[in-house]
Structure 1
Amino acid sequence: MRHSNSDNTKTQPATSLDDFAVSEEYSSAEPRRRRSRHARSSSAAYASNAGTVAARRGPLWQALGILAEILLTAAAICALYIVWQMWWTGVEAEQTQNETTKSVNWSDPAANGGDVKIAKAQEGEPPVQPENPKYGDLIAQVYIPRFGKQWHRNLVEGTTLEQINRHGLGHYQSSQMPGQIGNFALAGHRNGYGQPLGDVDKLQEGDPIIVRTQDYWYVYHYTRYEIVLPTDIWVIAPNPENSGVDPTKRMITMTTCEPKYSTPTHRWISYGELSYWAKVSDGVPKELSTTDSSGAVKFAISETPSVASRIGSLDKVVYMTLVAWAILFIAAAVAWRWPVMRAIRLGERRRPDASIYGTLLRLQPGVLPIRWLLLILLLFAAATALFQWTFPWAASNIPFLREMSNFVAVPE
């Protein structure tokens, strides 16, 4: 008997379009399910590690943290003010004095490689120079070897803060000129603004005080000092030793503040008398000369400007720093964007505590070293702006800071 193949062959189920659709949906959903499982496992792992990460501090502690940052910032500003007062004001004064000396046509004692001649002491009546200076004019340059071979200061007409803050020393307009019979009186800061008279307490009897005008040297010698009240205006009278008697001596008087490092309640007055005068064209006074190993006579004073005084105005430094910050900021934003902010937003990092400087750091784009560099540039620009604009304004307009600036002149 012949059997049909259809009886022995198992019937295969037909693949319908619905079955294909289900299969396709399963295959496309599988990666999503895997990703979902991975996200859940990542969240679970972060949650499991949350116990090992320091919990976010409470509002009170965060407020105390911000207060601490504010206090530290205030302390840093005070420290910067002291640096500005005691150092940078001197740099600015040196800059101004260098510009002033370049603007006048005075001969340089060390022009020939430092080789000089000893100027002969002259006899007779000392010449008066300048005869009729105007307010702010350069009168002379002053040298005091006791203060060091780097020490020399300009002397301008007038003793207002406008003059002695930037121009070195100021000449009392009511007093005599160099070499004249009477009292050649000048004022200068003892602390800050280059502290031109910061070492008056080191002067010893007989120390030379040399005044150089355009054409003449006037060599005085130190005699004594006294401490007086700011209202004791007789110290700049023609005869400070006896203000009711006509003068017979050719004196020099230097006034500065006392004490040195606090509010100047008194004035330190240094006196000297003329020893001789000489011509600039003849050389330099022996008190300003030295001899090298070969026997050549050299000018003993170094007039090379300091490195800091060559920086110039700080406004350019502020602008250049901000430009550098902006360029780096844009480059970091393009290259890395804000990875920390993104991690916080995605829950990969806990939300940080409130912090002024922490927020500033997080707002900078890029990786951690770049963010720190950007923050340092911002802080440097801010500190430089304080030096250039804020501190000078504060010293001129805030009363107790104005007193700390050590105004040293006595009333004329």
Structure 2
Amino acid sequence: MPGSTGKQGDENRIEGGQVSQRRARADKRSGALASAVGIIGEVFMTLAVICALYVVWQLWWTGIQAEHSQLEARQASSWSRPSGGGDKIAQPQKGNPPVQPGKAKTGDLIGQIYIPRFGSLWQRNVVEGTDAAQLANAGLGHYPTTQMPGELGNVGIAGHRSGYGEPLAHVDEFQAGDAIVLRTKDYWYVYHYTKYKIVLPEQTDVVAPNPENPTEAATKRMITLTTCEPRYTTATHRWISWGEFDYWAKVSDGVPKELAGGKTAGVVFSGKSDDRSLARLSSLQPVILILAAAYIIIYLSALLAWRYPVLREIKSGRRPRPYASIYGWLIRHQSGIAPVRWLLMLLLVLMAVCALFQWGFPWLASNVPILQEMSNYVAF
């Protein structure tokens, strides 16, 4: 009957509308769930990247800062360059070596050390004292209770094995006979590596005047390098490297033959090891300011030329409304066409990374107990 057919059609339309509403609600719930999962994933991904960046900061950037501090110390000193600018071989001297310096205060630059096994440009400052500030900022530290260079007994020197320039990272690569060259203001002291030992932290007799027989008086001149073991985890032990004195020479005569191979690399004030531009940075604040200025200029220029094309397309319906996303929101709200938006995002990321290196990670390493224990961080 005609009446019943119309009624059935109305019912079908009502039922279809209800189905459409249910689908719309289901799609909305599905979209909300997908957005929530996506945002959670982005948060975890961001945290993972921050953790990785923290490792980079600890192992690399603290080394750049330590190198900057050492460079400043060298530039502030009145030490002269070796005769011949590093190309002249100094004549080994006979007899007992002079002792230099006779005494030093905590933080004083007492020497520089060269170990060719660690690289042709490898050099580190040696300052008086082994507290956290000296080992983090100044290079290597001389144990105040041990002998000075040239003195009968044992020159004890400590340094980090990871982070802060990791000066003693590769002590496990030493080979018998490797040169360990210590320079003071006026003299070279040349030692040769002999052996190593892994000990507990409380075994302090390894830096005794006579570490081979700690209860007996010193009979020869030695050098001891102490560092952490294992390298990348909590240091439960100490890696001890010993060397014995070979000869001494005058800085005014040139450089020891152990540091000369064609043109000498890594000689004090030769200039080669001081040319790293990053080591000249005392702070990342200038970099952050440059990045911020570049971002503002590009952002405003793109805003005038293109405004926000993605937002315009979404508003007009030419592009579907995307799921909620932290990074998607940031990209959509950059002005300009796609290449410009990605460039702006890159500048934002670089600014964020520099800010973490400059302020975020130092704060975490100074205030979070587990990170304090892991990093032994000392502000520069």
> TM-score by structure 1 length?
0.79
Q: Is the 8 A contact 2:83 2:253 kept in 1?
A: no
Aligned match of 1:101: 74
Structure showing greater Rg: 1
Aligned match of 2:329: 359
Whole-angstrom distance in 1 between the partners of 2:64 and 2:123: 14
Cα drift, residue 212 of structure 1: 0.3
Cα drift, residue 210 of structure 1: 0.7
Matches within 5 A, 1:391-406: 391-405=361-375
Aligned match of 2:141: 170
Aligned match of 2:287: 317
The answer to whether structure 1 residue 67 and structure 2 residue 40 are counterparts is yes
Cα drift, residue 125 of structure 1: 2.9
The answer to whether structure 1 residue 183 and structure 2 residue 154 are counterparts is yes
Aligned match of 2:53: 80
Whole-angstrom distance in 2 between the partners of 1:406 and 1:261: 13
AA of the residue aligned to 1:299:
T
Deviations 1:28-63 (A, max 9, x none): xxxxxxxxxxxxxxxxxxxxxxxxxxx775222211
Cα drift, residue 204 of structure 1: 1.5
Give 3-state SS (helix, strand or coil) of 1:341's partner. Answer: helix
Deviations 1:218-268 (A, max 9, x none): 111111110011122222222222322222221211001111122211110
Whole-angstrom distance in 2 between the partners of 1:110 and 1:66: 64
Cα drift, residue 178 of structure 1: 0.8
Q: Which of 218, 224, 247 is residue 247 of structure 1 equivalent to?
A: 218
Whole-angstrom distance in 2 between the partners of 1:81 and 1:153: 24
Q: Which runs of 5+ in 2 are unaligned?
A: 1-26, 267-271
Give 3-state SS (helix, strand or coil) of 1:66's partner. Answer: helix
The answer to whether structure 1 residue 343 and structure 2 residue 343 are counterparts is no
Matches within 5 A, 1:212-291: 212-291=183-262
How many residues align? The count is 346
Whole-angstrom distance in 1 between the partners of 2:282 and 2:79: 23
Cα drift, residue 358 of structure 1: 0.6
Aligned match of 1:145: 116
AA of the residue aligned to 2:45:
L
Q: Which of 63, 79, 87 is residue 115 of structure 1 equivalent to?
A: 87
Which stretch shifts more, 154-163 or 85-94?
85-94
Q: Is the 8 A contact 1:110 1:299 kept in 2?
A: no
Whole-angstrom distance in 2 between the partners of 1:332 and 1:303: 43
The alpha-carbon distance between structure 1 residues 259 and 159, as it changes in their structure 2 partners (threshold 3 A), is same
Deviations 1:326-347 (A, max 9, x none): 2222222222222222333333
The answer to whether structure 1 residue 206 and structure 2 residue 177 are counterparts is yes
> TM-score by structure 2 length?
0.85
AA of the residue aligned to 2:199:
V
Matches within 5 A, 1:27-66: 57-66=30-39
Q: Is the 8 A contact 1:238 1:246 kept in 2?
A: yes
Cα drift, residue 111 of structure 1: 5.8
The answer to whether structure 1 residue 373 and structure 2 residue 334 are counterparts is no
Aligned residues: percent identity?
57
Whole-angstrom distance in 2 between the partners of 1:305 and 1:237: 38
Whole-angstrom distance in 2 between the partners of 1:406 and 1:275: 35
The alpha-carbon distance between structure 1 residues 362 and 403, as it changes in their structure 2 partners (threshold 3 A), is same
Q: Which runs of 5+ in 1 are unaligned?
A: 1-54, 292-297, 408-412
Aligned match of 1:17: none
Q: Is the 8 A contact 2:87 2:254 kept in 1?
A: no
Cα drift, residue 312 of structure 1: 4.8
Give 3-state SS (helix, strand or coil) of 1:63's partner. Answer: helix
The alpha-carbon distance between structure 1 residues 110 and 391, as it changes in their structure 2 partners (threshold 3 A), is farther
Aligned match of 1:305: 275
AA of the residue aligned to 2:34:
W
Deviations 1:174-193 (A, max 9, x none): 21111112221111111222
Aligned match of 1:158: 129
Whole-angstrom distance in 1 between the partners of 2:352 and 2:94: 58
